[in-house]
Amino acid sequence: MLKRATRLVWYGVAALLILAALLLSTARLVLPLLDDYHDELQQWLSQRVDHPVRIERLDLGWHGLGPDPRLLDTRLYDRGGEEVLLRLEELRIGIDLWRSWRQGRLVSNRITLHGSELNLIRREDGRIVLRGREHATPILNPLTLAAEQPRIALTDVTLGWEDRYLGHPRMVFRDIDLRMRNRGERHQLHLQARPAAALGQALELQADLVLPPGQRERWHGRLYLNAQGFMLREWLGWYLSDRWHAGGVLDTRLWLTLTGGRIEAAQGELAVHLPVFSSRERAAPLLAGSRLSTRLLWNRTGAAWRLSLDALELVQADRAWPRTGLTLAMAPPDADGRRLQLALDALPLELLQPVLPLLGEAAGTALDLTALSPQGWVRDLQLGGERRSGRWHDLRFKARLEALAWQPQARLPGLSGLNASLIGSPERGQLELELTDGRLAAPALFRDALPIGRLAGRLRWQQGADGLQLYSERFALANADLAARGQLRLQLPHDGASPHLSLQAQIERGDATRTSRYLPAGIMPEKTVRWLDRAIVSGRVTTGRVDFTGRLADFPFVQGAGRMEIRARVDDAILDYHPDWHRIEELDAELVFINQSMHIEAVDGAILGTRLADVSADIPDLKRSRLRVQGQVRGPLADMLRFVQDSPLARRGYALGQLQAGGQAGLALELDLPLRRTHGGPARVAGRLELQGNRLVLPARDLALEALGGRIDFTDTRVSGSGLQARLWQTPVRLDLAPHPDTPGLTRVRLAGRLPLLERLGRVHPPLARYLSGQSDWRIQLDVGRQAEGYPLWIESELEGIGIELPSPLSKPADTTLPLRLQTRIQAQGSGPLYLRLGDLHAALELSDAAEGPLQLRRAMLRFDAGAAQLPDGPGLELYGRLESLPVSAWRTVLAAAGETAALPALELREAALEVGRLRLFNQTLDDVSLQARPALGAWRIDLDGPGIAGRIAVPRGDSPLPLDLDLDRLVLTRGGIDGAGADLDPARLPPLDVDIRDLTYGSLDLGRLQLRSQPLAYGMEVESIRIEGGWLRLSAQGSWTLRQGREASRFDIELQGSDLGRMLTAFGYSGNVEGGATHGQINANWPGAPMDFALKAVEGTLDLRIGPGQLVKLEPGAGRVFGLLNLHALPRRLTLDFSDLFKRGFAFDRIEGSFTLIDSNAYTQDLVIQGPSARIDISGRIGLAEQDYDQLVTVTPEVTGGLPIAGAIAGGPAVGAALFLADRLLGRQFEEMASYQYAVTGSWEDPVFRRLNREEPGAAPTGTAP
């Protein structure tokens, strides 16, 4: 390539010299007349070159001792005179006057060409011409012209080159700088050029040659070539066919030796950056890397040559391959052909991966060589052969293979970790194997690669008429799984027929755990492989032998075309013979495989830890037959139950997995099992279980059968056992097992005894159990089997001997009977719906699964009539029917106690439709109430109708912010019924209240309309307003009810107005005491407890009374209890004694006013005044509200001032009357006080003590003053 590039430059320079020679000849002729013959010179040159020539300017100068003419801007045109073929900026010709004078002609001693652009074409005949003169006859030989000039210099020259001879496209070289010196036959050259960017970066050529004219055989010399950045794609693309592509950037330095007219030796350095070589037929390159470099040494000896590449190194993106060396030698050809020899120090096989498809095509093999993905090293390779008639003959090879590996392909197994020495030819040879820590992959035989710890032996091959034979007379194989020795012979027919294998091996040790790995699954029946994979779990092979003879395609030799026999002694093995049955462990047995049959004779073994006796297993045909296992065992019952539970018998629904068993039992078992669930029909089982004092426990149900004895027979279709005896909860019971009378596959279990079920219930739900007592006979029936919906369970009893102390309607004395029937289904996670009948009560209940957490009642329906109960459509409780009595408060107490246990949290009411004869709630009894309840938006709507109640109640649901809304048309309450109604209520948990009772009756008291509004607080509730409006009474209040740190308190501001105090007293049950008296009261009070716990003795606060005109008449002690603050029940009695003339017909008053301070269970007043027309009564002191006693001072002042003058006039005449009138006006109030009386009141409310005081007595002031 570089030689051709040099030649191109050489021819370009020569062409330039042609033109220079023409001009020099012209200069010799016309130089003396140059200035006068400018036009004639152009015409003469045009005629010589057969193209128009135009000289823009002609100058004559001198250089040294000779003239130095210059032709400036000279152009050579095409024949039409339009296109410029050649333009010379400046041509300088140095004239050697001395030589010119001696030779009688102009002789130049130098030619300098500057700034020219030259386009040359190498024609198809090999001749070089100017572009545009393709068909012209060359004028001068450029080499001859160049050799005649002593010195030639070219600067700033651009050369265009088109090689039609080789079919190369046009190339351009710029900035050509040429220095050439010729001395006779010796020619020295130094050239520098800059190729076009697509070709390279820089080119340098130096030559020192001796070239005798006409004597090529004497040519000799040396050349130096330095090429940098040459683009191989452009240079090699000319010489490669369209199939190949080469690329990269070449940097090279070459030293060439020329002898006898040809290159005889070369040495140098080559480096290709980003080398790539590919075939256009394949996407992946055959060779690619970051850098390829080497040192080259080539020499020729006659017709033979030798090429050595030293320090050959390839650097790829992910690695740098170690340096290697390659030698290629070609012997002189003879009559038969050429002999080629190749020697290679080392070759990484991974580099051959891209080339493998081409090698496969060349070899004509059907193997996909690419899929082999070879790895490893070939070292010290020696390859020799003779090329004759287009084919290779007498090939010989020898090499060392290190860490060799390849992937499997077609029938060729894959291998890794191979070290070997190879010698031979394609016809025969041998391979000395030494493999360590390798793997053998043969997908056609084995499912996974086989590990090879060590493989040693000699493998030979030989081509025969029948095919290729591979044989080894001795091999040894060992790894962690096994160790074996043997011999083999494998015949690979040429026609592609199945290989024939003859293998004899002695197994020295083996690990049965790895059996699946070594099964030749590719040539075995699929079902057989799957069964062996599962069955042989573990074990130790202590000795064994393998014999295999036959074609691989005929295995497993059903027609007797071959034989495979494996015999092995296995110790401590595990045989998992069927996926549905427990495996055999600790097995010591003789294992025999002959073609497709298997036989196991156990010496010892165990199932679930229980020792076996007389156990054998047979499979006559691994592909089509069944497995037959027989054996007897005696051991723990728990193991036997687990054996059955984990077998197909469990599909019949026997929940044995939930049982815990104790004690020893005996089991005899026969199994006839298909190898696959879908092959060979169902499993057949027959067995007998002998129980002797065993124990069965069901922990999930807290059930334990003790001292269980009897015999149970079973098959794969039924279980039976009669009269089994046991103890349940320390009580003797009888147990019977029998097939279900109507449904095949089910087993009916019956249990009878006097069971302590109430005691068990007490453990589950202690609050409910406290209401139950006694014992009774119980009957339990359970149907077990394969049922998706669970096991039906019935529990029945007459409950004779059991007392129920629950509120009506569920109460029952112990000496009566009340039929009970409970029906449900036992499911995997708890029980199904419960259907209960207890007397006239019908109930349907659903409990949550135990796996979901604490037991919860999800939905329920209770019917108190003859109708059947069904589960509601959604969560919640539904109630229907008629009840003679419903003590809500009593049931609330029961349910509250149940709720504290969190065992059965209360359900939300879903719907209720009840007729209740007597509804008892908060110490109130409402008769003949019709109750309808249903959900509404965010609340429960309860409609009530009856003589004592009518209206609607809306109860908020869950966390709804809605208030508890009582919208009643009427409500009748009995007296005393609200006492204690607020007990156990937490005000902070009460919702907002919105109460509107339009007709409220309390006892015989018609209170009119009651309205109440409240809002919750963080620690209680705020009563925004309470209003009672009747025809004679108005009451308004506001306050709060709180609960903090366990202390309950109420605080209210109450305002009371009544038009008639007498009527108010009569309405509250104190008739005949007071007549008239418009009343206004104001109470600001607080007391511990709920608002319903209001009592004066507990109140602290103030009380203000204002009572208008009225009369106290015939006061009774009972009234004093209510108006004890006034002491009115005893005071008039005393006054009637002292002022009988004033109180004969009662005590009329104009007003009663006063204020009280309530504190520490006492009421204190200092300003209580009863003002009447006949007297004024002032009361101060203390009233004991808790002790019910008095400590008061009562002052009675008769109204005598207004009546004395009249009385005096009547009695004493006008003079006396006038005197008294004058005293009344002068003394006024002082006169009345002179006539007043004081009393000290002490003692109890029932028997007060009045003691009249003299004004001078110290006790005239009250002793009970407020603190």
Maximal C-alpha separation, the chain: 207
With cut-offs at 50, 70 and 90, classify the pLDDT of residue 1130. very low
Task: Name the least confident of 93-107, 163-177, 244-258, 801-815.
Answer: 93-107
- The stretch 294-310 carries a mean pLDDT of 89
Find the length of the chain: 1267
Residue pair 996/1011 in contact by the 8 Å Cβ criterion: yes
Q: What is the DSSP letter of 963?
A: -
Range ranked top by mean pLDDT from 219-228, 461-470, 682-691 = 219-228
* Sequence-separated (6 or more) residues with CB below 8 Å from residue 892: none
Phi, psi of 1204 (to 5 degrees): -65, -45
CA 442, CA 462: separation in Å to the nearest integer? Answer: 22
pLDDT of 762 higher than 50: yes
What pLDDT is attached to residue 109? 81
What is the model's pTM?
0.50
* Identity of residue 701: R
* Sequence-separated (6 or more) residues with CB below 8 Å from residue 934: 911, 912, 940, 941
- The stretch 42-54 carries a mean pLDDT of 73
What pLDDT is attached to residue 8? 55
Write the DSSP assignment of 175-234 as a string of letters. EEEEEEEEETTEEEEEEEEEE-TTT-SEEEEEEEEE--TT-GGG-EEEEEEEEEEEEHHH
CA 1216, CA 741: separation in Å to the nearest integer? Answer: 125
- The stretch 260-277 carries a mean pLDDT of 91
Residue pair 995/1010 in contact by the 8 Å Cβ criterion: yes
Task: Name the least confident of 610-624, 907-921, 1150-1164.
Answer: 610-624
CA 481, CA 452: separation in Å to the nearest integer? Answer: 9
Q: Residue 163 is encoded by which pair of tokens?
A: 């090689």
What pLDDT is attached to residue 137? 61
Percentage, residues of the chain above pLDDT 70: 83
Reduce the DSSP state of residue 82 to 3 states and report it. Answer: coil
Reduce the DSSP state of residue 817 to 3 states and report it. Answer: coil
Greater model confidence, 84 or 382: 382
Greater model confidence, 253 or 198: 253
CA 501, CA 411: separation in Å to the nearest integer? Answer: 14
Q: Residue 1267 is encoded by which pair of tokens?
A: 């603190």
pLDDT tens digits for range 1248-1262: 888 888 765 555 555
CA 263, CA 7: separation in Å to the nearest integer? Answer: 14
- The stretch 1200-1223 carries a mean pLDDT of 40
Task: Name the least confident of 626-640, 933-947, 1206-1220.
Answer: 1206-1220
pLDDT of 756 higher than 70: yes
pLDDT tens digits for range 1053-1110: 999 998 888 777 776 665 556 788 899 999 999 999 888 777 777 889 999 999 999 8
Q: Residue 829 is encoded by which pair of tokens?
A: 């996670």
Per the DSSP assignment, residues forming a β-bridge with 500 are 491, 551
With cut-offs at 50, 70 and 90, classify the pLDDT of residue 103. confident
What pLDDT is attached to residue 48? 58
pLDDT of 769 higher than 80: no
With cut-offs at 50, 70 and 90, classify the pLDDT of residue 35. low
**Look-up: residue for tokens 């020697």?**
343
CA 964, CA 939: separation in Å to the nearest integer? Answer: 9
1015-1032 as b/e, with b when 16 or more CB fall inside 10 Å? Answer: ebeeebbbbeebbbebeb
- The stretch 83-104 carries a mean pLDDT of 79
Reduce the DSSP state of residue 589 to 3 states and report it. Answer: strand
Greater model confidence, 1056 or 903: 1056
Task: Name the least confident of 177-186, 1025-1034, 1050-1059, 1113-1122.
Answer: 1113-1122
Greater model confidence, 247 or 98: 247
pLDDT tens digits for range 623-653: 777 788 888 888 888 888 888 777 777 766 5
Nearest CA to 470 out of 430, 509, 414 is that of 430
What pLDDT is attached to residue 1127? 44
CA 275, CA 249: separation in Å to the nearest integer? Answer: 7
Q: What is the DSSP letter of 957?
A: P
What pLDDT is attached to residue 32? 52
Nearest CA to 435 out of 406, 459, 403, 412 is that of 403
**Which CA distances in Å does 872 have to 529, 589, 823, 877?**
56, 63, 17, 8
What pLDDT is attached to residue 68? 77
Reduce the DSSP state of residue 365 to 3 states and report it. Answer: coil
What pLDDT is attached to residue 1226? 41
Q: Residue 1063 is encoded by which pair of tokens?
A: 């009527």
CA 686, CA 666: separation in Å to the nearest integer? Answer: 14
- The stretch 1041-1055 carries a mean pLDDT of 91
pLDDT of 1202 higher than 70: no
With cut-offs at 50, 70 and 90, classify the pLDDT of residue 1237. confident
Strand order in the sheet with 1147-1149: 1074-1076, 1110-1112, 1147-1149
CA 18, CA 554: separation in Å to the nearest integer? Answer: 86
Cα dihedral 246, 250, 252, 258 sign: positive
* Identity of residue 123: R
- The stretch 561-570 carries a mean pLDDT of 89
Q: Residue 861 is encoded by which pair of tokens?
A: 């329906």
CA 613, CA 634: separation in Å to the nearest integer? Answer: 9
Nearest CA to 572 out of 610, 601, 533, 605 is that of 605
pLDDT of 676 higher than 60: yes
* Identity of residue 924: Q
pLDDT tens digits for range 504-539: 999 999 998 988 888 888 877 787 788 888 888 999
pLDDT tens digits for range 692-740: 888 988 776 678 889 998 888 888 788 888 988 999 888 899 999 888 8
Nearest CA to 1041 out of 990, 1082, 1084, 995 is that of 990
What pLDDT is attached to residue 770? 80
Element (H, E) at 758: helix 757-764
CA 1044, CA 1047: separation in Å to the nearest integer? Answer: 5
pLDDT tens digits for range 405-429: 988 887 778 889 999 999 998 888 9
- The stretch 858-879 carries a mean pLDDT of 88
pLDDT of 933 higher than 80: yes
Tell whether omega for the bond before 809 is within 30 degrees of 0, i.e. cis. yes
pLDDT tens digits for range 454-496: 999 998 989 888 888 989 999 999 999 999 999 999 898 888 7
Percentage, residues of the chain above pLDDT 90: 24
Write the DSSP assignment of 606-671 as a string of letters. EETTEEEEEEEEEES-TTT-EEEEEEEEEEEHHHHHHHHHTSGGGGGT--GGG-EEESEEEEEEEE
CA 1265, CA 1250: separation in Å to the nearest integer? Answer: 18
Element (H, E) at 891: helix 888-901
pLDDT tens digits for range 530-554: 888 888 899 999 999 999 999 888 8
Nearest CA to 123 out of 133, 111, 114, 113 is that of 133
* Sequence-separated (6 or more) residues with CB below 8 Å from residue 873: none
* Helix, strand and coil percent figures for the chain, each rounded to 5: 15, 55, 30
With cut-offs at 50, 70 and 90, classify the pLDDT of residue 225. very high
Mean pLDDT of the chain: 81
What pLDDT is attached to residue 1229? 47
CA 155, CA 699: separation in Å to the nearest integer? Answer: 110
Residue pair 894/771 in contact by the 8 Å Cβ criterion: yes
Strands (E), 785-833: 791-797, 802-804, 820-827, 830-831
* First-to-last C-alpha distance (Å) of the chain: 131
What pLDDT is attached to residue 949? 93
Burial category of 207 from C-beta neighbours within 10 Å (exposed 0-12, middle 13-18, buried 19 and up)? buried
